[in-house]
Amino acid sequence: MGLLDPEKPGQAQFFSPKKVAQAREKFLELENKKEQEQAQKEHDKLQKVIAREVKAAEAPEQKKAREAKKKPIKLPKKLKKKLNVLNERLEERARKRQQAKEEKAAQKAFQNRKAVKSPSCSKSQDTLVQRPKPPKQNPKNPPKPKSTLPASNLDNAVAPIPEKPKTTSSRFGRTIKPTQRVLDNL
């Protein structure tokens, strides 16, 4: 316990009253700290218990609120009728659009086919034959222009004489003349 003097075995060690008072204060401070820590731990435990109880009490209310959101809204009969009428109108419009698309596609298909009379058939037998499509041209390998010179004179020719560009017409019916630049390059 440290009450005996280490230099003189068997004799008690004496302390000044000041040191004894300091030792008591330190001991009391340590006791107070331990009590405060214990009280804080208990307080934390109680707070956790209270939080759990509050959460458990709120859980049924939150569940009811979630279920209420999931349930469809009950509308008055007048509003239901109006909604039904609007839905029917929308469906009818969609059907009309679909019909218009189908009719347009059928009309296009009909226009793409031409009635052609075959020479072996009589006048009463007309057959629908699809219009032949022009051959596709490869933009990387354009067809070579035909030479205007006969084959026998090709050996003597230095360069073929290009043809003068023709005037064309646009899809709107306007005539398109070749530009001066094109004519200069000839």
| pLDDT recorded at residue 115 | 46
| pLDDT recorded at residue 150 | 54
Q: Are residues 16 and 46 in the same domain?
A: yes
| pLDDT recorded at residue 87 | 93
Which comes out higher in pLDDT, residue 147 or 47? Answer: 47
Residue 27 lies in a domain: yes
Q: Are residues 85 and 57 in the same domain?
A: no
Instruction: Inform me whether the pLDDT recorded for 98 exceeds 90.
Output: yes
| pLDDT recorded at residue 116 | 43
Q: Structural domain tally of the chain?
A: 2
Global pTM reads 0.30
Q: Are residues 64 and 87 in the same domain?
A: no
| pLDDT recorded at residue 157 | 52
Per the structure, the complete domain to which residue 37 belongs is given by: 12-71
Residue 6 lies in a domain: no
Which comes out higher in pLDDT, residue 28 or 109? Answer: 28
CA-wise closest residue to 101 among 93, 89, 91, 112: 93
Q: Are residues 95 and 62 in the same domain?
A: no
pLDDT class for 1, splitting at 50, 70, 90? very low
Which comes out higher in pLDDT, residue 77 or 120? Answer: 77
Q: Are residues 99 and 83 in the same domain?
A: yes
pLDDT tens profile 115-146: 444 445 554 555 555 666 666 666 666 666 55
